[in-house]
Structures are given as structure tokens and as C-alpha cells.
Amino acid sequence: MLDLGSNINIKQYLDRLMNRKDAVLNIAVVIIALLIGRAVNGNLYQKVTSLQHQIETQKKVNVSVDQLQQLKVKFDDYKTSMPEDINPFTVVEKINKLASETGIRLISVVPAEAKDKAVYLEYPLTIKLENNYFELANFIKKIEDLKIFKIINLDIVSQSASEEINKTTGQKLSVNMALLSTSLKK
């Protein structure tokens, strides 16, 4: 026996089931869409991350290139200021010439063995000289003005106190000076 009320219950039950079926189907479609979206976004995320990494790497390369260009400019400046044709004989000749121009009594000039550096040569030189303060100061200034010598050590000693100091020339001083000259390798 069929009850009309139960007929309505079955119909309601079937309607509910159809609504649930639609809901389940909608949920399945949303889940599939999310999975597809995630896959697409995952690839995009990887691409964006990769591009960000490439940008950072390129920035570092650009900074390195800029630093390299600055170093090249500095090197070129050093290269133009550093003579290419210096040798111990030329150095001794320049010292002798300066000493005679400034009235310095040159006692000794002792060149040491050249030191081979990567791109240039260093020529150490020790000189001993004497005269009064003013002539020594003039000599040292002329050494610095040549820009081929670097004074690496300077010892100034007063000569014997028993000597009478001449008021016009001043006290005699003895100087030991270590110089360094550099030149580019050929």
C-alpha cells in the first residue's frame, strides 16, 4: 500500500538527493578548478622566482662590471703616472743631478736589487747626504716633485754638537734616506 504522504517523502528525498548531487558536482568542479589553478600558479610562481633570481644575479654582475671599470680607470691613471723606462742607472743619474742642483753633498747612492712585482718593478735605493736644513728640505721637495720616487724612510741626524753653527747656513745635518722607484714591466 502506497501512502500518498510517503510518495511526497520519496519525491522530497529524490529532490534532496539531486540537490546533493548538484552540490557534489559543484564541489568537484571547484576542486578541479583549484587544482588546475594551483598547477598554473605553481608554474608561474616558479617562473617568477626564477626571474627574480636572474634579476639579482644580473644586478651583481652589473655591480661587478662597474667595479671592474672603476679599477681599470685607476689602473690607467697609475699606468700613465708610472714611468716605463726606469732603471737603476737612470735613478742614480737623477739623484746626482738633483744633488748638484740643490747644493747637497752626496755621500753615497746604493741601489738595491730590483723587486719583480706582478705588473711592475720596484727599485729600492738608499742614499746618504748632508747639508743644512734648507738645502735638505729643497732636495726632498725636488725628489717628491719628480713623482718617480717614494720616500719610504728618512733619518735626519745632527752632526757633532762641537761644530760651531754658522748663522747664515744653519746646522749641518746628515740624512739617510730610503727611496723606492717603480716602473711598468715591458
The pLDDT tens digits for 129-172 are 998 888 888 999 998 888 788 899 999 888 765 455 444 556 78
Question: 180: how many CB neighbours lie within 10 A of its CB?
Answer: 16
Compute the residue count for the chain: 186
Which whole-number Å values give the CA distances from 110 to 102, 107, 176, in the listed order?
Answer: 20, 10, 11
* Segments of the chain with pLDDT less than 50: 1-2, 4, 162, 165-167
- Residue environment code for 1-15, b if the CB has 16+ CB neighbours within 10 A, otherwise e: eeeeeeeeeeeeeee
Q: Quote the crossing angle between the two packed helices 133-146 and 88-102, to the nearest 10°.
A: 140
- For residue 150, give every residue at least 6 positions away whose Cβ sits within 8 Å of its Cβ, in sequence order, or none: 179, 180, 181, 182
* Whole-number pLDDT of residue 88: 72
* Whole-number pLDDT of residue 126: 92
CA–CA separation, 129 vs 119, rounded Å? 32
Note the pTM of the prediction, 2 decimals: 0.53
- For residue 185, give every residue at least 6 positions away whose Cβ sits within 8 Å of its Cβ, in sequence order, or none: 119, 120, 121
CATH for 88-184 (3.10.620.30, 3.30.70.270, 3.30.70.60, 3.40.50.620):
3.30.70.60
In the chain, where the domains are located: 1-81, 88-184
What are 151's three cell numbers?
720616500
